[in-house]
């Protein structure tokens, strides 16, 4: 028994002395619960919406009022005609438009039946679904209130139209998300492991002694993974278009260029990771926890960022995948051009430059 306990004691020492792993083991449950507890909300709150009210009568105003009061919706824009709807969605300013046709009150009073239309941004199918469900519920509620008050069998029919995604296919949000994830894994994780492997094997020293500039070494390591990543992008796109029926409505060239940009951003991240560790295992661990997890949670493809508490929203801004996801969605699903994504593209470029800068500095200090 004593021998056994001696061994157990030693094992505790191992765990205790490995502060890094300890931190992960004990810290992970806490971070997971907090992040997933708050981020895992498919609820919507204060969603920006627009109103297109052709009736402008008492009943329509009442309905609009009801929408405003609800904590789910925040009618920020008032539209005057149908032509204004599309550009609003293009810019991503609202997630839903409520259209009340003419003679709303009249139809209710005299026909006991009226229609309203909900137009939702289908490029985010999960959100669109939730929004339309909530909105429909509110409208139903309004209808029931009228019935109770007026004792007449009012009926309000709700037509739902999903922009960009009429069949509300889940794959529309899924594909861009997967693309971001795969690129992050191939480029960042594999590159960092490749560089660290060289250090572990001891061959890095030889290379440093050779006339090859350290920068050249890094680029040389990155090139095969960059090519692999582009192959992956092509594969994902092919499968999406032909198997999942997800369209590429925008420019393919633009999409591929942005894909290349994001690949380079991920490479820069991989480079940074490789410069802070000498062990392949640690590199992999950091990649998985520091890249994979945030990309899944904060890119916006599973959980809408707008519904996260503010601190988490701020954090999501430093996750490159978030910007890439937006860019891919805008090009693929909304079919829009560069003028709609130049800001996000600039952010990615900026991140890449900063990441490269830090890594190069770290590389240089290691040498001295």
Partner 1 sequence: MLKEKVIIAERLTKSFGDFIAVDHISFEVEKGEIFGFLGANGAGKTTAMRMLCGLSTPSSGKAFVAGFDLFQEAEKIKKNIGYMSQKFSLYEDLTIRENIQFYGGIYGLSKKQIQDKASYLVEHLHLQHFQNNLVKSLPLGWKQKLAFSVAIVHDPAIVFLDEPTGGVDPVTRREFWELIYDASERGITIFVTTHYMDEAEYCNRVSIMVDGRIEALDTPKELKKTYDSASMDEVFLKLARKAVRGE
Binding site for partner 1 (CB under 8 A): 201-203, 205-212, 367-368
For partner 1, the closer of residues 339 and 368 by Cβ is 368
For partner 1, the closer of residues 30 and 209 by Cβ is 209
Chain position carrying tokens 């701020």:
314
b/e map 17-28, b = 16+ CB within 10 Å: eeeeeeeeeeee
The whole-angstrom distance between residue 194's C-alpha and the CA centroid of its chain comes to: 28
For the bound state, the minimum distance from the C-beta of residue 368 to partner 1, rounded and expressed in Å, comes to 4
For the bound state, the minimum distance from the C-beta of residue 344 to partner 1, rounded and expressed in Å, comes to 39
The whole-angstrom distance between residue 211's C-alpha and the CA centroid of its chain comes to: 43
For the bound state, the minimum distance from the C-beta of residue 364 to partner 1, rounded and expressed in Å, comes to 10
H or E segment to which residue 162 belongs: strand 155-163
> Please, how many CA atoms are within 13 Å of residue 284, restricted to the half-sphere of its CB?
5
For the bound state, the minimum distance from the C-beta of residue 216 to partner 1, rounded and expressed in Å, comes to 9
For partner 1, the closer of residues 144 and 203 by Cβ is 203
For partner 1, the closer of residues 144 and 279 by Cβ is 279
**Strand ranges of the sheet holding 73-79, from the earlier edge strand across to the other edge:** 73-79, 47-53, 96-100, 113-121, 155-163
Sign of CA dihedral 94, 96, 102, 108: negative
For partner 1, the closer of residues 140 and 213 by Cβ is 213
For partner 1, the closer of residues 215 and 342 by Cβ is 215
User: Cα(231)–Cα(241) distance, rounded to whole angstroms?
Assistant: 15
Q: In 3D, which of 188, 219, 193, 139 has the Cα closest to residue 292?
A: 188
Q: In 3D, which of 23, 1, 3 has the Cα closest to residue 285?
A: 23
For partner 1, the closer of residues 285 and 360 by Cβ is 360
For the bound state, the minimum distance from the C-beta of residue 297 to partner 1, rounded and expressed in Å, comes to 36
For the bound state, the minimum distance from the C-beta of residue 280 to partner 1, rounded and expressed in Å, comes to 14
For the bound state, the minimum distance from the C-beta of residue 202 to partner 1, rounded and expressed in Å, comes to 3
User: Cα(353)–Cα(282) distance, rounded to whole angstroms?
Assistant: 24
């Amino acid at each position: 028994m004593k021998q056994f306990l001696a061994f157990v004691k030693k094992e505790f020492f191992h765990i205790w002395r490995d502060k890094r792993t300890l931190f992960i083991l004990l810290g992970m449950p806490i971070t997971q619960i907090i992040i997933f507890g708050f981020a895992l909300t498919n609820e919507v709150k204060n969603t920006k919406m627009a109103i297109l009210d052709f009736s402008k009568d008492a009943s329509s105003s009442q309905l609009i009022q009801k929408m405003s009061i609800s904590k789910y919706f925040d009618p920020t824009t008032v539209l005057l005609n149908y032509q204004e709807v599309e550009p609003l969605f293009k810019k991503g300013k609202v997630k839903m438009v409520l259209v009340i046709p003419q003679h709303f009150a009249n139809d209710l009073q005299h026909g006991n039946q009226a229609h309203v239309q909900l137009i939702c941004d289908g490029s985010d199918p999960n959100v669109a679904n939730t929004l339309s469900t909530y909105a429909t519920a509110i409208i139903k509620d309004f209808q029931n209130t009228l019935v109770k008050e007026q004792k007449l069998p009012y009926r309000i029919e709700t037509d739902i139209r999903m922009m960009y995604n009429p069949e509300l296919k889940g794959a529309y949000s899924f594909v861009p998300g997967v693309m971001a994830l795969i690129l992050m894994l191939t480029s960042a994780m594999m590159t960092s492991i490749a560089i660290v492997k060289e250090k572990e094997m001891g061959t890095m020293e030889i290379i440093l002694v050779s006339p090859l500039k350290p920068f050249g070494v890094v680029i040389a390591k990155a090139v095969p993974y960059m090519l692999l990543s582009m192959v992956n992008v092509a594969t994902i796109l092919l499968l999406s278009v032909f198997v999942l029926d997800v369209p590429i409505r925008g420019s393919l060239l633009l999409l591929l260029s942005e894909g290349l940009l994001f690949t380079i951003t991920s490479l820069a991240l991989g480079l940074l990771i490789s410069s802070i560790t000498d062990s392949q295992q640690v590199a992999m661990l950091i990649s998985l926890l520091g890249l994979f997890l945030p990309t899944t949670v904060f890119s916006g493809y599973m959980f809408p960022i707008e519904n996260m508490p503010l601190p988490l929203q701020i954090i999501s801004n430093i996750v490159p995948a978030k910007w890439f996801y937006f860019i891919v969605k805008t090009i693929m699903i909304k079919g829009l051009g560069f003028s709609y994504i130049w800001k996000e593209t600039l952010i990615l470029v900026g991140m890449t430059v900063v990441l490269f800068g830090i890594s190069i500095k770290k590389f240089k200090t290691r040498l001295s």
